[in-house]
Amino acid sequence: MATLLHIDSSVFPGEASSSRSVTAAFRNAWEEQHPEGTVIYRDLAADPVPHITADAWSAGYAVPTERTPEQSAAFAAREKLIEELEQADAVLIGAPMYNFSIPSTLKAWLDSVLLLGRTAGETPSAQGTPVVVVASRGGSYAPGTPREDYEFVQNYLQAVLKDTLGLDLHFIVPELTMAPRNPAMSELVPLYESSRKRALEDATTKAKEFAERLAA
């Protein structure tokens, strides 16, 4: 049975969140293809992962039998997150842009699962696992736009997810999500609507592509 690791990090619930709306579309299509499958779900806004501590960090590089009780307890929580990534056949991440970067809760999750010699290094343990990141944003940071140089979400996640963890990375980018709420962006509403429609369609398509890939 196929396993999907689904992570949301938006602080907004349900349809109020563009990233959650698109990850939900992907998950629905995935579950249609894998009715007997498993979904591991983490809502990092409702149930945040603790930020990395000295004990959790150092335990990853200590001999297990030589860890302190504090290191062992901290690493147990960290290892659970690592194992969820390792057992996933596909990963789905909602990563809205907050102040030009990812939510701190998502960064905390990444800090926990990135472990040199296991998930990172010459042979990352989850290498090749397909991952879709829904990178929503209130404006547009696409190449050629005035704020192109402020795009630190896709660049950063490519460095971590693809270049470091070895995952097969795909982005879906719903943009201009503030247009319906900001009168100054009213003329951009049609572009927002087309971007949202395309993102929802891409989510469904990617879910089916991943399912076909697993079945092959």
pLDDT in tens, 60-95: 999 989 999 999 999 999 999 999 999 999 999 999
Query: For 152-181, what is the mean pLDDT?
Result: 97
Q: At residue 190, does pLDDT exceed 80?
A: yes
Enclosing H/E stretch for 168: strand 168-172
**Distance (Å, whole) CA 94 – CA 21:** 9
Residue 6 has what DSSP assignment? E
Q: At residue 199, does pLDDT exceed 80?
A: yes
Residues of the chain above pLDDT 90, percent: 92
CB of 176 within 8 A of CB of 191?
yes
Residue tagged 């959790």 (tokens): 56
Q: What is the pLDDT of residue 215?
A: 77
Query: For 193-214, what is the mean pLDDT?
Result: 94
**Distance (Å, whole) CA 104 – CA 140:** 21
Q: Which of 48, 144, 53 is nearest to 105 (CA)?
A: 48
Q: What is the pLDDT of residue 213?
A: 86
Q: Beta partners for 92?
A: 6, 132
Residue 179 pLDDT class (50, 70, 90 cuts): very high
**Distance (Å, whole) CA 56 – CA 114:** 12
Q: Is 59 exposed, middle or buried (0-12, 13-18, 19+ CB in 10 A)?
A: buried
**Distance (Å, whole) CA 162 – CA 136:** 19
Q: What is the pLDDT of residue 152?
A: 95
Query: For 126-147, what is the mean pLDDT?
Result: 95
